[in-house]
Structure 1
Amino acid sequence: MHNQAELAYRRLHERLLDGHHSPGDRLTELGLCEELGMSRTPVREALRRLQSDGLVTSTGRGVVVSSLTAQDMRHAVQLHEALDALAAKLAAVAQREGRLSPVQLSALKEAAEHVEEQAATGDASGAWHANLDFHMMLARLSGNPMLEDALSRIWTMFAIVSRSNISRRSDLTPHDHHEIVSAIVDGDPVRAEAAASRHVQEAAEKYREDPS
């Protein structure tokens, strides 16, 4: 049953990340059981985990997809900046100490290039996923699984609240990604940290200009 609960959690998390549900949408156990083809116990456990993640909120009559206030978004962006900067710094340290492989560095470069390619096509959904892949790869290279988990939760919140905006504007700045990659490849944690922090700040500024 534990495996079923984990599967239910991952599938529901993916649906939230893909923008399948909007803030305020009501999620019922019965409805989710039918959609996922699973029994109520694992679905109930998955909803409890999503609630602890802050992604859904209990209403007494089931749960609804959480929404973020403007203040919540500011707090989330502040945390995102700190975590992204730390991830880039740790990845650069790992590179400097010889703990990153050529394959890992190549994958990070390719992820940055993929964001640029998707941005050029105007494919909002493709750009969103490419951007997410880059940032989560950066988190993995930090070598800190707790940091990776925290960033995953933040990105899911962003996806629920304003995925279309983030896809269209706020993170389509691939040159910033290349600056982060360059600093990591050079094993320069100070420059990598600064580049990652600057990238999030610029993205947040674009979001404030057009939060729709």
Structure 2
Amino acid sequence: MISSDEERPGLHNQAELAYRRLRERLVSGHYRPGDRLTEVVLCEDLGMSRTPVREALRRLQSDGLVTSTGRGVVVSSLSEDEIRHAMQLHEALDALAAKLAATAQREGRLAPVQLTALKEAARAVEERAEAGDTAGVWRANLDFHMTLARLSGNPLLEDALDRIWARFAIISLGNISRRAELVPTRHDAIVAAIAEGDPERAAAAAAEHVHEAASRPRD
């Protein structure tokens, strides 16, 4: 009996690979909000059969990154209300991540190499901003926030922030340049509070950073 696609060895790995490749293209700005993506074109682009691509699209739809149209999918956007709701959650999660990281530092559970990684991530944002590299600022800013999430020691928090940032990435790449001057200073305040093991100050600095970013015009 000929096995179906679902029974072929390695199909799960192919679906995972398709998911990762398409997700990277989405969050890197390769696809823009409103772009229509069809299985036929994606299969050609990825050099894969339709089954793993279809499974990848299902996962991306579950992530909120694409929306089904009945004939393929379109890259999702965010309404003003959705952006506001996402920023509210982002503020709360970043504040919690900073608080947990500072607590770990105060209790001696944060390794020096972890704190160094956070400082280097903050410095990278500043360097990209000074160079006027809009896309570089975005990538460095994302790296800083995900490094902060990892330092929290809470994998559920890290996963939640990763999902939020993936949705932000699709709509925000062109806006980050207007925040270039704000980002390094606010990151420095977060890093300093964590380094000093001050959970409350770290949480406040992280919340202020996100709140101020959310308050700036997006037009």
TM value normalised by structure 2: 0.92
Whether contact under 8 Å (1:28, 1:62) holds in the other structure is yes
The match for 2:179 is 170
Instruction: Give a deviation string over 1:159-204, Cα, whole Å, max 9, x none.
Output: 1112110x21236421110110111111111111000000001111
- Give the 4+ runs in structure 1 shifted more than 3 A: none
Quick one: which of 65, 76, 88 aligns to 2:75? 65
1:35 and 1:188 mapped to 2: Cα distance? Answer: 49
CA drift at 1:26: 0.8
Instruction: Give a deviation string over 1:27-51, Cα, whole Å, max 9, x none.
Output: 1111111111122111111111111
Structure 2 counterpart of 1:69, one-letter code: S
1:152 matched to 2:141? The reply is: no
SS of 1:173's partner is helix
1:75 matched to 2:85? The reply is: yes
1:31 matched to 2:66? The reply is: no
Quick one: which of 23, 28, 33 aligns to 1:18? 28
Quick one: which of 55, 60, 64 aligns to 2:65? 55
SS of 1:22's partner is coil
Q: Sequence identity of aligned pairs in percent?
A: 73
Whether contact under 8 Å (1:29, 1:44) holds in the other structure is yes
Quick one: which of 111, 132, 144 aligns to 2:142? 132
| Structure 1: 5+ residue stretches without partners | none
TM value normalised by structure 1: 0.94
CA RMSD, 1 decimal: 1.1
1:187 and 1:10 mapped to 2: Cα distance? Answer: 36
Counterparts of residues 65-144 of structure 1 (less than 5 Å): 65-144=75-154
* Number of corresponding residues: 208
SS of 1:15's partner is helix
1:107 and 1:60 mapped to 2: Cα distance? Answer: 44
1:37 and 1:100 mapped to 2: Cα distance? Answer: 43
2:199 and 2:52 mapped to 1: Cα distance? Answer: 42
SS of 2:67's partner is strand
Between 195-204 and 5-14, report the one with greater CA deviation: 5-14
1:192 and 1:49 mapped to 2: Cα distance? Answer: 34
1:93 and 1:162 mapped to 2: Cα distance? Answer: 31
Whether contact under 8 Å (1:23, 1:161) holds in the other structure is yes
